[in-house]
Chains A and B, each alone.
Chain A
Amino acid sequence: MSSVSRRSLLTGIGALGVGAVGVGGLVAADAAGSAAPTAPAPQIVPFRGQRQAGIVTQQQDRLTFAAFDVVTRNRSELVELLRTWTAAAESMTRGQQVPGGASQLQAPPADTGEAAGLKPGNLTVTIGFGPSLFDDRFGLAAKRPALLRPLPKLPPEDLDPHYTGGDLCVQACADDPQVTFHVIRNLARLGAGTVVLRWMQLGFGRTASTSSAQATQRNLMGFKDGTRNLRAEQAELIDQHVWVGAETDQPWLRGGSYLVARRIRMFIETWDRDYLGDQQNVFGRYKGSGAPLTGVSEFDTPDFAARDAEGGLVIPEDAHVRLAAPEHNNGTRLLRRGYSFTDGIDPTGNLLGGLFFIAFMRSPEQFISVQRKLGESDALNEYIQHIGGGLFACPPGVGAGQHWGQSLFA
């Protein structure tokens, strides 16, 4: 924005004297410079590419996630919206405004304005399609990947229908929460008449790290719970566990990924009065260092066989780290990309917050099998409850001139 100088602002008003009928002087300045494709400016994550950004992208600090339902019955209206959304999302990831201008005094500005002057913040905007989109409304029934169906019941969940499912999802991640909110707000506005917001979640702090360059953040229970997450640098593992390959029955999804979102409430007050020894046994890690109970530093590999002097397992049978470990799930791994959230307090006065779990995977079965196991015996279940979420198929990235959903609707 520095390129519109104070000088031009002042002389712009001076222009009133030049013409005969001017009424407003300088009306608006929209001068965020954009980047040449060859030299990305700082904090700009390329929007276009083979894969969608926002999956293996180094995890940003803030999230706004939204699920939409499509209300139109007109297929071309939906496609037109996806085209409009693509242009808007791309523009916002470059730190620019939603296209359409702000120059007419009698028209609302195309962009809502609250992100003007903010840095792009490594914004990524990622789209996914929910199972419900593939019904008879838009002729997509034959395009539904066989694996894309509503998640089965995964006890002990208690999903609120107002926070579950959706025809589409958009994940906006950036290092500035106002930047991510701005995305969802503007996409919802552009979508009026075509889609409606079904639910929305703000995440105020990342709980995982998706790059070895990042430290592991703590979750709201005070623990490091993403230490063994997949990292972008593990290219082979990422290919193996995250990206949908030739095995899919739907070519449009090749190179994409399945997104599982789970709104997981933590019973914060009861957790906070659990004694430290038990808290550590629940996770199987030391609260302070993040090290497994069999190690001394965070990245030590847990020794699940280790026993103490009395012959008991050092990492208990029902510890979270044990049950979630690939070693105990036939090697199954997920790329976790979750955020802590709070929505204030519940009607009984307890803090309402927890983990907005997001994970990307090659097949939803990866989440289902791990979560079945956790649901059965995870010690953590006493302190958490899954209360919402959804499954979405995220298509591959958009190339030059393409728009979201182009191959799906082709």
Chain B
Amino acid sequence: MRTAHGLIAITAVVGLAVTGCGGGPTTQASQPSGEGGDVTVQITADGCQPQPGTVNGGVVNFKVSNKDAAAVSEAELLSGGRILGEQENLTPGLDGSFTLQLSQGDYQVYCPGAKQDHWDFKVTGDAKNNWKNNPDLVRATTDYGTWVNEQVGQLVSGTKDFTDAVKAGDADRAKVLYGKARVFYERVEPVAEIWGDLDKNIDGRADDFPDAKDFKGFHKLEQALFEARSLDGTVPVADELYTNVGKLRDLVAKATFQPAELANGATELIDEIQKTKVTGEEERYSHIDMVDFKANLEGSVKAFSLLQPALSKIDADLAKTVQDRAAEVDKALRPYVQSPGYLETGYVDYSAVGKDQQKALSQSVNALGEAMSKVAAKVA
């Protein structure tokens, strides 16, 4: 669990209590980096012509090499005579690079000592690559918003059933309803994590609360049901949990999303699996980690599948790699599917999954995470 600073763009920040951890919602996500790209500058006795000579605004990486120019040993990027970046001491045979964030404008590459020592370099506008001009991506963001709201709606009703059972003192029923409610939280966790303490109050672990008496939320009730085996004193905890998921629903209803945020959220869900599900950390009392595992995966794959039409046009290989690796994870999960399964979860009790089996699960998840982490830059 972490505060997802700058993950989700909120268009209407109304009445939000931004407290704790310093990581409330932000009104702007990190700007897409634009195009930029690599520019090759080969120093020769004749000059240092940049290739290409024009790029779109964004992060530009200048790769400078000196093939055989004995009298020239540096290249600089100038704007109005000022040095913005440079690579010095490049004697013949050496290369190096420097990277700059550049905006629209006219620049020069300067290589003192060469026959022609100034070369024009142009940066064009940044807007061309705006995702808002890509209907596939616009649709992805709106569809994701619809889906998240639907999930949070089900979280609220599932939590109602669960907390009602807790309050009624029906432990057996509560144990079954616990997992059924949590699915909806685990699918949209990165979204839920942006509101500071709200995630901690809903999904925090005992270790997240310096004072044990402050421990609350799903996992407090999990502990009561599965470890303490006593529901004494849990009514206020149940009520507060239900209130908090309601707050979450209201906040989510006001959120809008950007494509890179969907992608980063998809990666974060994979990270969640690797850090807290495969290890058995999150559901340490109930051992329903398989439920969370599958729900994280579903949330991740959902976000990805919405981006897929756009991504397939931008980078078909990456789209296929992610899809293949997600299928591998799904395959790795299959041996643990059971019907109706442990506590009607559809899966086995995670405490029965051995260390070597956990390792194999983790490795397939890691492979998916590495691929997924490359998606955001493609759709930003």
Contact = CB atoms under 8 A, between A and B. Distances in A.
A33 B36 contact: no
A34 interface: yes
Contact of B59 (A3, A34, A104): A104
Given A12-B100, A193-B367, A108 B373 contact: yes
Contacts of B85: 4, 8, 11-12, 26, 29
Most buried by A among B92, B102, B368, B369: B102
Bin the interface of chain A by size: 35 or more
Contact of A106 (B30, B37, B83, B97): B30
A392 to B, nearest CB: 21
Contacts of B104: 19-21
Given A36-B94, A101-B38, A106 B101 contact: no
Interface in A2-17: 2-5, 7-8, 11-12, 14-16
Most buried by B among A8, A38, A101: A8
A30 B99 contact: yes
A4 B87 contact: yes
A292 B215 CA distance: 67
Interface string A93-108: 0000000011111111
B82 interface: yes
A23 B103 CA distance: 9
B33 A104 contact: yes
Contact of B325 (A3, A11, A103, A193): A193
Contact of A196 (B57, B92, B363, B374): B363
Contact of B57 (A2, A4, A11, A19): A19
B89 A33 contact: yes
Interface in B81-116: 82-90, 92-105
A122 B11 CA distance: 54
A344 interface: no
Interface residues of B, number: 57
Q: Binding site of A, secondary structure by majority: helix, strand, loop or mixed?
A: loop
A189 interface: yes
Given A8-B83, A19-B103, A103 B367 contact: no
B46 interface: no
A30 B94 contact: no
Contact of B377 (A18, A36, A38, A106): A106
Contacts of A18: 79-80, 82, 84, 103, 105
A22 B102 contact: yes
Contacts of B380: 104-106
A235 interface: no
B96 A33 contact: yes
B65 to A, nearest CB: 9
Contacts of B374: 107-108
Interface in B244-291: 260, 263-264
Contact of A7 (B83, B126, B376): B83
22 contacts: A3-B96, A4-B86, A8-B83, A8-B84, A11-B83, A18-B82, A19-B57, A21-B103, A24-B59, A26-B100, A27-B101, A29-B85, A31-B87, A33-B89, A33-B94, A33-B95, A103-B60, A104-B33, A105-B30, A106-B33, A106-B377, A192-B367
Interface of B: 30-33, 36-38, 57, 59-61, 76, 79-80, 82-90, 92-105, 123, 126, 260, 263-264, 321, 325, 328, 363, 366-371, 373-374, 376-377, 380
Nearest 7 A/B pairs, CB to CB = A19-B103, A36-B93, A107-B377, A193-B367, A192-B370, A103-B59, A106-B377
